[in-house]
Amino acid sequence: MIMLNETHDPSLQSWVASANESGTDFSIQNLPFAAFRRQGTDEAFRGGVAIGDQIVDLAALQTTGLYDGLAGKALDAAAESRLNRFMDMGKETWSALRLALSRSLREGASEQSQLETCLVAQADAEYALPAQIGDYTDFYASIHHARNIGSLFRPDNPLLPNYQWVPIGYHGRSSSLDVSGADFPRPCGQIKAPDADIPVYAASKRLDYELEVGIYIGKGNKQGQAITIDKAEDHVFGLCVLNDWSARDMQAWEYQPLGPFLAKNFASTLSPWIITTEALAPFRTNWTRPEEDPQPLDYLDSDQNRQQGGFDLKLEVLIETKKMRNEGTAPISIGLTNFDYSYWTVAQMVAHHTVNGCNLRAGDLLGSGTMSGPDTGQEGALIERTRGGKEPVDLGNGEMRTFLEDGDKVIMRAWCEQDGKRRIGLGSVESTVLPKL
């Protein structure tokens, strides 16, 4: 079961003043991990932990010798250029370092003077992917998204027969995953218009975003040994925000019979911070399946998953056009949904991924698939919001969008917020569409 501990106490305050502000993503109750260095330097990337608008430089903290025991061993690994070794050490080790950091960053901590020398302003930092991602699997876990997409092509039968029985996913390409701020050119490929006899090679005209949750695997499993659903989250290090870009016109032509290919593998962008599942514990929710729907097979079902399998995690997507930037106007929000709408839980995705003996490794990434809600305005992709490009979105400044144009910046962010609890934010992921090469 997901247990609360002293790090979740909503009354905790930090000697880092910005961590106590009500709207911060990075309160002392959060303490997420990233790989960073100072901008404009050739410093090595190293592990860091966010606190307010600052970063605790874990490599600098390591030199102080403050931590010993399990927390010290964890710090040695987390200070490396990527977090893989730390992630593979397991949840007891993750928790030990998080607890040590929490105690050192609280008001009145005796370690304040030493940790103050280890702080770097986030405004002065640049980021790399926090882990070396060996493999990437993207799921299709939102039934609202599946219905919205299916209704465009199969109005009378939008869900395929297997959807409510099996967590659908496909294996993506890890080499094109990048961190927030990594812009990319508009992709080119084969496109066949519905009324055309043959395809043409062209730049995508129906470029789209996908609002997703990224799930980082921590400790792996041996090949041939499945992870049970009640042990699945022991293997999950944390969550991030994921934008899995899609070229819808390329996808429509190539996806049959084997699914996504060039329409998906040109770019996927991740927020830099991994928020641990431990930090998210106060925002766990029960998971239910409508009685009229097929219930999960035994290997995908448990009392624990039903009681605490969900996350009350708000997800938002915004667009900033070139015109908005030139005029100094704010980005416009065009979608607000929640991870709690997911038809399949994180534990079910992990359990299903390994039920055949597939071995996951520390740093592997799972994508939730586009997260959409049941109502208008809760769509996680433009193809849904515009009903396949038939109903343009009014951006409120004289501009309309059916799909993305060159110069559009897409911003996604996620956070947990409830009365009586401290806000936990995942930060944001941002990237701009550049003209084709």
CATH label of the domain that carries residue 205: 3.90.850.10
Q: Do the domain assignments include residue 71?
A: yes
Question: How many domains is the chain built from?
Answer: 2
Asked if 63 and 182 sit in the same domain, the reply is no
The mean predicted confidence, pLDDT, of the chain is: 97
Binding residues for Ca(2+), as ranges, are 138, 210, 212, 244
Residue 150 sits in the same domain as residue 67: no
Structure confidence at residue 1 (pLDDT): 74
Same-domain status, 356 and 388: yes
Q: How far is it, in rounded angstroms, from Cα 339 to Cα 221?
A: 26
My answer on whether 117 and 170 are in the same domain is no
Reported confidence tier of residue 63, pLDDT bands at 50, 70, 90: very high
Six-digit token string for 167: 């967590």
Find the domain containing 58 and state its range.
6-128
Identify whether residues 64 and 169 lie together within a single domain: no
**Residue 361 maps to a domain:** yes
Could you give the residue numbers annotated as active site? 145
**CA 147, 150, 156, 162 torsion-angle sign:** negative
**Does any domain span residue 256?**
yes
Same domain, 119 and 146: no
* CA–CA dist 40, 80 (Å, integer): 20
Q: In the listed set 128, 145, 173, which residue is the last one of a domain according to the structure?
A: 128
Confidence of residue 2 (pLDDT cuts 50, 70, 90): confident
Quote the CA–CA distance of 139 and 136 in Å, as a whole number. 10
Taking 90 as the threshold, does the pLDDT of residue 146 lie above it?
A: yes
Domain boundary among 79, 98, 128: 128
Binding-site residues for substrate sit at 140, 154, 251, 255, 370
- CATH number for the domain spanning 103: value is 2.30.30.230
Domain's final residue, options 108, 128, 148: 128
Look at residue 74 and tell me whether its pLDDT is greater than 90.
yes
382-430 pLDDT, tens digit per residue, is 999 999 999 999 999 999 999 999 999 999 999 999 999 999 999 999 9
Q: How confident is the model at residue 148 (pLDDT cuts 50, 70, 90)?
A: very high
| Percent above pLDDT 90 for the chain | 98
Residue 1 maps to a domain: no
197 and 82, same structural domain?
A: no
Asked whether residue 164 is assigned to any structural domain, the reply reads yes
For residue 198, give both structure tokens: 């043959």
The reply to whether 249 and 181 lie within a common domain is yes
Q: What is the pLDDT of residue 88?
A: 98
Q: Is residue 13 part of a domain?
A: yes
Is residue 38 situated within a structural domain? Answer: yes
Summarize pLDDT for 116-134 with one digit per residue, the tens: 999 999 999 999 999 999 9
Residues 82, 175 within the same domain: no
**Measured distance between the N- and C-terminal CA atoms of the chain, rounded to whole angstroms:** 50
Which candidate, 139, 136, 92, places its Cα nearest to that of 345? 139
Contact yes or no for 430/354 (Cβ under 8 A): no
Q: What is the mean pLDDT of residues 334-348?
A: 98
Binding site residue list for Mg(2+): 244, 264, 268
Looking at the structure, tell me whether residues 369 and 415 fall in a common domain: yes
Q: How many CB atoms lie within 10 A of CB 164?
A: 17
Given pLDDT bands bounded at 50, 70 and 90, which one contains residue 329? very high
Mean pLDDT of 99-113: 98
Would the pLDDT of 319 be above 80?
yes
Question: 320 in a domain, yes or no?
Answer: yes
The predicted model scores a pTM of: 0.98
Same structural domain, 245 and 215: yes
- Residues 13 and 65 grouped into a single domain: yes
Q: CA separation (Å) from 63 to 115, 377, 429?
A: 11, 49, 31
What pLDDT was estimated at residue 291?
95
Indicate whether 311 pLDDT > 90: yes
Q: What's the pLDDT at 153? A: 87
